[in-house]
Structure formats: C-alpha cells, structure tokens
Amino acid sequence: MKIENRTFDELKPGDTETLRRLCTQDDLLVFANVSGNHNPMHIFDADGDGDGVNEAVAPGLFVGSLVTAILGNILPGAGTLYRAQSFTFHNRAHAGDELESRVTVTGKNDRDYTVTLATEVRRVSDDALILSGVAEVEAPRRKLSYSSHDLPGLIVQRHRHFEKLLKQAEPLPALVTAVVCPEEENSLGGALKAREHTLIEPILVGDPQKIAAAAAAIGADLTGIEIVPESNHDAAAARAVMLVHEGRAEAVMKGHLHTDQLLRAAVDRTHGLRTGRRFTHVFVMDVPGIAHPILVTDAAINIAPDLRTKMDIVQNAIDLAISIGITEPKVGVLSAVETVNPDIASSVDAALLSKMAERGQITGGLVEGPLAMDNAVDLAAARTKGITSPVAGRAEVLVVPDIDAGNMLAKQLSYISHAEAAGLVIGARVPIILNSRADDEMARLASCAVAALHHARVTGAT
C-alpha cells in the first residue's frame, strides 16, 4: 500500500483523518509485556479490583496510541515528531470494543513548523467518547512517499483453545479415572490438579508408599481419594482396566509407568478394553497463532499403519474433534505431495481415504488427501498449487503417514511453535489419557478436559 505524508505547507485547519481498530485480548497482553504495566485490570482473565468480574480494561495509553497511529502514518504522516499531547478520559474501552480514532488540524505555527491537532477516540458501537485531547507536533517539511511494509509479526503465546476446553469441561460431572502408578510428583500432581478443576475424580492405583511420598513432596493432601494398592506396574495397569469392567472407572490415565505397559493391559484380548476398532492416539494441540485446535494422529501407537488401520485413525480423530466442539471436522491426510504418486504409498492411501469418506465409509467429517503439510494448513499455499476444496488450507485434523512423521510433527509444533499438546487414546471402551513426563500443568489439564468432553458426548452424560 502506498502512503504519502502531508507536509507543513500542505496542511490546513480542518483537515481530518480517522482510523478504526478492534481492541483484542492479545493487544492488551502485548501492551502489558511491552510497557511493563501488568496491572490486572488490563488482563482479560484477571479480576483486577476484587469484584468477581474480569475487567479487561484497555490501558489509557494503549487507547492513546491509536491517536499516534494516525499522526505517524497519515496526518501529517512520515517524519512527524511529537512536541506535546494531552488526554482526558471520558469512558473506558475494553477488549472486544471497536475503536475509532480521529485527529483534526486546528492550527499552524510558521515560526517552528509546529501543528496543533484535536484528538479523540470513540467506541464505534455506541459512539461513546473514550478520550479527547490536543496534540502538538513538528510536521514534516519534505514530501515522502513510500510503500507500507510489514513489520516482524508477533504471536502471543497464549493457549486460548485449551482455556476454552477447560471451560467447556468443568461443568460436566467429574470423570472417575483410574490413574495408574501416580508415584512421582508430576503424574500425581497432574491428577490432583485435574481434580481441583472438577475434571476428574481420581482412583489412584499403585504403590501406596510411593504415592504417599510423591504427595508429601508436593504438599498434597490425599484425604478422601481412593488408593488401590498394587506394587507392580503391570499388575497396576491390569487392575485399572478391571476397574473399568467393574463399572467403577470411566477413564484410565497414565501415571509413572511405560506407555506399553499400560496399553498391553488395555489391548488384552480377554480382559482388555477392545471395542472392535483399532486403538489410535490423537494429539489435540493448541498452537499459538492458529485460529483453531490442530489434531495430529497417529503419533504414538500405530507404527506403520495399513489402509484399514488408517480408516480407524481417521474415524477416531473425527469423533474426538466433534467431541471438543468442531461441528464438521476438516481432515487433511498428509503425504509428501498433493497429487497421487503410485511410488509414494502414503499419497495412494490418502486418496483412498478421501474417496472412502466421499462414499460414506468414513463419516462425520470432510476428508481430503493427499495434501502436503503446507497446503493442508495454509490457504495461500493451497491456492498457489491450484487446490480448491473445503479442507485444503483449513485442515483441523492432520493424519500423518506413520509414527515417525507424526512424532516429528507433534514435537516440532511443541518445541518450535510453542504449542501445548493434550494426548488421548481413542478406540477403547473408555478414554485413555496419555501424558508425557515433559508435559506441563496446562497440557495435563487439557488431556483430562478432552477425555471428559469425549466421554460426555459418547455416553450422553451431562
């Protein structure tokens, strides 16, 4: 976009310009970080004055900065420098308000090339005056014309999708969950934190002495929480599965044991949790800067899935996506290419899965493949490749060719893109919550929230 300034000689009293800006929660977080003003009155999820309501009031100088945007960009524009600025605040702006700033030239001083301007900011919805004031600036004397260039982008590392999932899940009945071997601080602490949020009601299955030691290490009180004693990890996993068969547990959660030990008990043909559909793992990921959750599957269980297994991988992921509120999940089946290449097996599988969904063999979502990673998640990339579909560039579920690709993708999103990841095994009689030892509190809470939401939809629990 071409931008030109207005020199001192071109300006005349009455010249006016306006700009509109939607004030967002992320704007307030960025302003808090840049300014160092961490007043909770300005933070969207904080109660700054103790009245029980989260205020999210836009800081006064954030609102004032909307005036400077006009002065520096349009009127007078490039080359303008402040001499003075006064502000009077008449109302408060909040996150979610659309604001319109306006400046009007009121006078010029030929001796020092200064200009005075009336400034104001109003809320668009009701025309309420938020601030008014007077600016005195040194106006540019030389004509400048330039193309507006993009500044380096900012991505706020806030996990809004997981926060939304927690709010969705907390009103549900607590999911009675057999927590297997919560015998160290992180695994026990995650279960207890989920209990505090009323996401789960844990039954702790493992060595009572180790569980008590972990509780003492984090200062936790286990009063009122059932402990089922099992000193052996394999026996603890089997006992947790039996709690499901007995109707005492509605979910199973991995504690401090190896994943294969837990899954061995779950897939046992006689006493396990099989349903006829393959067990598949889904990462529900909250990626900063992405407008929706990203589901990655399968990155943890099926090593080199064949087409039949991929059918279950896709169907399980669609079912889980619906459970967390995605009405018609858009599934991108990934390959190295976006056209079918008979020499690349994953591209052939992807095309077959897409056709199977088209014929009703996979239901509940829109399935498209093969898609490369770029044109699965980026509309511009999809358009560049000439791909027109409701999924390309908009995929919410990413189906990977094998466990190598899935594990790499999930960890790249976590460690490079700063995503949080909730992990769940689907296809069993009950949700199986898989947490990594590296998971932080939010990831553990989100895994429990996803399990509770999925269980509630499948069983009709409210």
Categorize the per-residue pLDDT at 1 as very low, low, confident or very high, splitting at 50, 70 and 90: low
> Residue 4: which residues within 8 A CB-CB, separation 6 or more?
77, 143, 144, 145
Average pLDDT of 423-439?
A: 89
**Which residue's structure tokens are 């992180």?**
186
Strands 397-399, 330-334: pairing kind: parallel
Choosing from 91, 118, 147, the residue where a domain stops is 147
Cα–Cα distance, 296 to 409 (Å, whole number): 8
**Which residue's structure tokens are 């056709």?**
355
Whole-number pLDDT of residue 315: 97
Lowest mean pLDDT among 162-171, 223-232, 320-329, 430-439: 430-439
Q: Is 80 exceeded by the pLDDT of residue 14?
A: yes
Cα–Cα distance, 360 to 377 (Å, whole number): 24
As a 3-state breakdown, the chain gives helix, strand, coil percent values, each rounded to 5, of: 35, 25, 40
In the chain, the N- to C-terminal Cα span, in Å, equals 52
Q: Is 60 exceeded by the pLDDT of residue 263?
A: yes
Give a yes or no: residue 439 inside a domain: no
Give a yes or no: residue 193 inside a domain: no
pLDDT tens digit sequence for 217-251: 999 999 999 999 998 999 999 999 999 999 999 99
Task: Give CA separation, 285 vs 20, 139, 161, 302, in Å.
Answer: 33, 49, 9, 19
Cα–Cα distance, 178 to 251 (Å, whole number): 6
Q: Is 60 exceeded by the pLDDT of residue 440?
A: yes
Task: Give CA separation, 7 vs 12, 71, 79, in Å.
Answer: 10, 12, 9
> Residue 431: which residues within 8 A CB-CB, separation 6 or more?
175, 251, 252, 424, 425, 450, 451, 454, 455
Cα–Cα distance, 312 to 306 (Å, whole number): 10
Whole-number pLDDT of residue 280: 96
Average pLDDT of 426-453?
A: 89
Mean of the per-residue pLDDT values of the chain: 92
Choosing from 79, 113, 147, the residue where a domain stops is 147
Reference 104, options 81, 71, 128; nearest CA is: 71
Cα–Cα distance, 364 to 373 (Å, whole number): 22
Cα–Cα distance, 345 to 405 (Å, whole number): 14
Structure tokens at 192: 């207890």
Whole-number pLDDT of residue 83: 96
> Residue 359: which residues within 8 A CB-CB, separation 6 or more?
none
Give a yes or no: residue 189 inside a domain: no
Q: Is 60 exceeded by the pLDDT of residue 383?
A: yes
- DSSP one-letter string for 275-326: -SS--EEEEEEE-TT-SS-EEEESSSS-SS--HHHHHHHHHHHHHHHHHTT-
Q: Is 60 exceeded by the pLDDT of residue 288?
A: yes
Whole-number pLDDT of residue 283: 96
Cα–Cα distance, 126 to 94 (Å, whole number): 13
Neighbours of 150 (CB within 10 A): 5
Whole-number pLDDT of residue 150: 66
Q: Is 70 exceeded by the pLDDT of residue 29?
A: yes
DSSP 8-state secondary structure symbol assigned to residue 251: E
Q: Is 60 exceeded by the pLDDT of residue 462?
A: no
Give a yes or no: residue 357 inside a domain: yes
Strands 330-334, 227-229: pairing kind: unpaired
pLDDT tens digit sequence for 186-212: 899 999 999 999 999 999 999 999 999
Give a yes or no: residue 101 inside a domain: yes
Whole-number pLDDT of residue 388: 86
Give a yes or no: residue 174 inside a domain: no
**Which residue's structure tokens are 């009180």?**
221
Enclosing domain of residue 316: 279-427
Give a yes or no: residue 96 inside a domain: yes
Question: Residue 37 sits in a domain of what CATH number?
Answer: 3.10.129.10
DSSP 8-state secondary structure symbol assigned to residue 41: G
pLDDT tens digit sequence for 99-139: 999 999 999 999 999 999 999 999 999 999 999 999 999 99
When divided into structural domains, the chain yields a total of: 2
Residue 376 identity (one-letter amino acid): A
Categorize the per-residue pLDDT at 46 as very low, low, confident or very high, splitting at 50, 70 and 90: confident
Q: What are phi and psi of 367, to 5 degrees?
A: -115, 130
Q: Is 90 exceeded by the pLDDT of residue 215?
A: yes
Percent of the chain with pLDDT over 90: 79
| 154 compared with 136, residue with greater pLDDT | 136
Q: Is 80 exceeded by the pLDDT of residue 442?
A: yes
Choosing from 120, 147, 174, the residue where a domain stops is 147
Structure tokens at 369: 């493949």
| Rounded CA Rg of the chain | 28
Say if residue 399 is exposed, middle or buried (CB neighbours under 10 Å; 0-12, 13-18, 19+): buried
Give a yes or no: residue 210 inside a domain: no
Q: What is the pTM of this model?
A: 0.77
Neighbours of 134 (CB within 10 A): 15
Question: Residue 389 sits in a domain of what CATH number?
Answer: 3.40.718.10
The dihedral sign for the CA sequence 455, 459, 460, 462: negative
Q: Where are the alpha helices (DSSP H) in 36-92?
A: 60-73
Q: Is 90 exceeded by the pLDDT of residue 55?
A: no
- What number of CA atoms fall less than 13 Å from residue 364's CA on the CB side? 18
